[in-house]
Structure 1
Amino acid sequence: MLEYGVMRRPPLSEPADMLLADVAIRIQLSPTDYGKAEQHYQALADWIDRPGSPLEGLVELVYAQGSMAIGATIASRLTTDEFDADAIAQLSLSPDVAPATALDLLYESIRGEPGSRYYDKTERQSRCTTVCYPDMHVDLTPMVRLWHRSERTGHLFHSKPEEARHFDRTLIANPYGFAEWFKAATPLDHDFAVAFSERARGLEQVVAAESEELPGQTHVSQKSKAVIVLQLLKRWRNVRYDQRQGRRPPSVLLAKLVAEAANKTGSLSEELLHQAQAMLAEFWRWHVHGSLIQVENPACPNDDILTDRWPGTLAAQGQFIDDLEDLVVKTERLVAGCPLHEMREILADLFGEFPAQQAVAAFNDRTGAEIRQGHSQHGAGGRLVLPATGLFTSTGVASSHATPRHTFFGGNWRRRS
């Protein structure tokens, strides 16, 4: 099969692609966790509409939004499997309801009376209510539908209890429309989706009986390259911002930029490099003119601004540009081919020590088995050994197979001094 004038390689056939896929598998939701998240927010939908609730009879619809809606949720903490699930609660309230009133009504409806199921698990946020479970958080955001606008466009609300009410804001948004736009822009490559799904099933050792998938639900490991790269980029962002103060680049902004640059590569590692280069180019396009990047929801242009709370300052934007430049340099090294111990160091730096170490160990075991069976093209006469230090030594493989490097923007982007 030809793609862009070159023979297309089988999906996940290069060491860099295998390792990146294994990292992605380890940071995303398993089918069991995905099912649990859906059960949690569906239970919340019934709870806030219960008899005696402040919102009894006023709950029109509850549905997934954000990363949950596009299949890009990852572990929200670096050292645990905790993750966040986002959902919208569409309420039958006046579009002119005060922001604090809408948010307080939802909070009070979820929290309930002392001793009730969510009373000690509920936190009021500036735009949602968070319900804390042992292994996840569910953020439920109130929305009032604007029926004269496109499907599911509505008012969201911003109100911090500790601030004066004149700081409150009512926002127009359409998270449902964004999710539909994103999915249309990042369709599945069937061969890649099958290869990734099979690898995910094998590495996770998922037992089908553990969770019953909902009717019509696509298995959570059936993803496009762009979605996998979005998950990797979110994890990379979390690693970079783990010890920093202030806000981090919002996931919806990363998703928008990834979708715009999708479907231009043939492998997972090339997709990561291409997306990093494209994102860097877009940020530089604004930064060189002394402007903050501005990105809109294509399903709600002019009103739903995805950059309304970040970056906020040129300094914050410049810091992220520095991060992107570092990401490009390290990903170029992965794509071009480098020794496996260097690959491990790069993966640990970009995505954290734990998933990198696990991915490398799995690669080592799998490649060793393939070498012994005579099926591997990545080495011969031995197996990769993962010593106690966590670094590779090699008895048969010195480096990954070099892959021609693409520069989709005619060259490398570097900060101009």
Structure 2
Amino acid sequence: MGILINLDLAATIDPLDGILMDIARRIQVPKTKHVEAADHFMGLCAHVDRKDSPLEGKILESYASGSFSIAAAIYSHVRAMQHDVDVVVEVDFPIGTDPEWMLDQLYKAVKGAPGSRYYDLKVVRNSRCVTVTYPDGVTVDLMPVARLPGGPERSGVLFHHNAKRDEKYRKEVNPKAFTLHFNACIKSSDIFASRYRTRRLLSDGLLQERAETQPMPEHVPIEEKSPRLVAIQLLKRFRDIQFRGRDGRCPPSVVIAAMALDAGQMSDSLCDELIAVATHMQREIENAERDLRKVVVANPAHPADVFTDRWPEDRSAQRLWRDDLIRLVRHLRTLRGREWDPQQLKNILRELFGETPADRAFEDHYRGQSALSKQNMLGITKSGAVKNALAAPALSNGLIIPTRANTDMGGFIEDPVD
């Protein structure tokens, strides 16, 4: 039994694009995790509005925000399948409500009394939200927002209180407006969808059965996403890897998403999109540096909602991220413009995206190349490196590839903690 793969199309997929597709697939939050996130979301929302809760009858509406709302959620830790969920809890309180009191009430509403549903879970009261951590490491952040009377639809204020820094204030926001604006601007690509399906079949058709390592985003499959949206996910993964072990805040996901909207005309190439978004962010930071100021990014659907109010803390923070972006683009252009040494390729992918997705994508790629090379579709150097340019002879439109084909790559690499 085999899988039918369009080898003509497979031969036209840029090798680096193919590898980036494989990595993107590894970091997706699949349908099962979306369902779990929805269960967590519904359970928490019902819990904070329960009878005798400090917020009983005071919850107007709750909705997912952040990455889940724009289909850009990724695993924060791939091997552990951990991810984060952001929830806006619209509360029926005046916008002048004391931030400290508001956050304390939400914490009490979530934590509950001893023996209640969430009492034994890790519940933390942060400066803008209350975070619930589940046993599998998944976190849900609940942010209370009071609607702005007479303001634009769904606009409101969030409550900020940080006792250690002696900070207390309210900030105008409109996460719903950004979600609607972003989703209206980012459209899917039929070309990218076709390339991704072909790439997925090529990889899956040659892998042994390891379903648990093949998370597919069935809620919004990659092939239904814009290459720019997938590039945003890859850039977030890159950011997460670079900032592990660093002090200070990292660039918020919403800043990356907002800036990506202004990164020029969209293309069907995932590599081109990743370079375009990273380069645009780099240039915006350099423009701010020339003016001796911090970069400012506002909600395009509600300019009073400034996304960069806490990052960058100072200009050194934005220069650090700018240098990360320069290195990312340099590595991508290096891989695109020359033959690959396998060890160099693996090292770069690990540096950019972490060991687990990089190693698995590396294996997928060379399994696929091994199958295609048997059909004389690849230019192979004497050293064994695969040329970036694929020269495909005239072939039929399809070929049956065995689902358990033998390869030259051996077994699976042991998963490191990632």
Question: TM class by shorter-chain length?
Answer: 0.7 to 0.9
Root-mean-square deviation (Å) = 2.8
Q: 1:349-375 deviations in whole A, cap 9, x for unaligned? A: 111122111001011222323334x2x
Q: Does structure 2 conserve the Cα–Cα contact (< 8 Å) formed by 1:91 and 1:144? A: yes
Q: 1:235-286 deviations in whole A, cap 9, x for unaligned? A: 1111111111111111111111112115433311111112222111111111
Q: CA deviation at 1:160?
A: 2.0
Quickly say closer, same or farther: Cα 1:348–1:128, change in 2 above 3 A. same
- 1:95 partner SS: coil
Task: Spell out the pairing of 1:260-275 with structure 2 (5 A cutoff).
Answer: 260-261=262-263, 263-275=265-277
Task: Spell out the pairing of 1:151-300 with structure 2 (5 A cutoff).
Answer: 151-162=153-164, 164=166, 167-196=167-196, 218-219=220-221, 222-261=224-263, 263-300=265-302
Aligned length: 373
Task: Spell out the pairing of 1:71-220 with structure 2 (5 A cutoff).
Answer: 71-77=71-77, 80-121=80-121, 122-133=123-134, 134-162=136-164, 164=166, 167-196=167-196, 218-219=220-221
Instruction: Give the equivalent residue in structure 1 for 2:325.
Output: 324
Instruction: Give the equivalent residue in structure 2 for 1:28.
Output: 28
The gaps in structure 2 that reach 5 residues or longer are 1-8, 392-418
Q: What CA distance in whole angstroms lies between the structure 1 residues aligned with 2:390 and 2:288?
A: 34
Q: Does structure 2 conserve the Cα–Cα contact (< 8 Å) formed by 1:292 and 1:311? A: yes
| Structure 1 letter corresponding to 2:243 | Y
Instruction: Give the equivalent residue in structure 1 for 2:347.
Output: 345
Q: What CA distance in whole angstroms lies between the structure 2 residues aligned with 1:45 and 1:20?
A: 37
- 1:304 partner SS: strand
Q: Does structure 1 conserve the Cα–Cα contact (< 8 Å) formed by 2:71 and 2:220? A: no
Q: What CA distance in whole angstroms lies between the structure 2 residues aligned with 1:328 and 1:313?
A: 24
Quickly say closer, same or farther: Cα 1:336–1:212, change in 2 above 3 A. closer
Instruction: Give the equivalent residue in structure 2 for 1:356.
Output: 358
Instruction: Give the equivalent residue in structure 2 for 1:311.
Output: 312
Q: 1:373-410 deviations in whole A, cap 9, x for unaligned? A: x2x73357xxxxxxxxxxxx98755322289xxxxxxx
Q: 1:142-163 deviations in whole A, cap 9, x for unaligned? A: 1111242222111101012445
> Under a length normalisation based on structure 1, what TM-score does the superposition of the two structures give?
0.82
Q: Does structure 2 conserve the Cα–Cα contact (< 8 Å) formed by 1:239 and 1:350? A: yes
> Under a length normalisation based on structure 2, what TM-score does the superposition of the two structures give?
0.82
Percentage identity across paired residues of the two chains: 34
Q: Does 1:334 align with 2:335?
A: yes
Instruction: Give the equivalent residue in structure 2 for 1:5.
Output: none
The gaps in structure 1 that reach 5 residues or longer are 1-8, 381-392, 404-417
Q: Which has the higher contact order (CA 8 A, sep 6+)?
A: 2
Quickly say closer, same or farther: Cα 1:211–1:71, change in 2 above 3 A. closer
Quickly say closer, same or farther: Cα 1:394–1:307, change in 2 above 3 A. farther
Q: Does structure 1 conserve the Cα–Cα contact (< 8 Å) formed by 2:27 and 2:78? A: no
| Structure 2 letter corresponding to 1:190 | D
Q: Does 1:398 align with 2:386?
A: yes
Instruction: Give the equivalent residue in structure 2 for 1:408.
Output: none
Q: Does structure 1 conserve the Cα–Cα contact (< 8 Å) formed by 2:154 and 2:176? A: yes
Q: What CA distance in whole angstroms lies between the structure 2 residues aligned with 1:228 and 1:11?
A: 22
Q: What CA distance in whole angstroms lies between the structure 1 residues aligned with 2:298 and 2:366?
A: 43
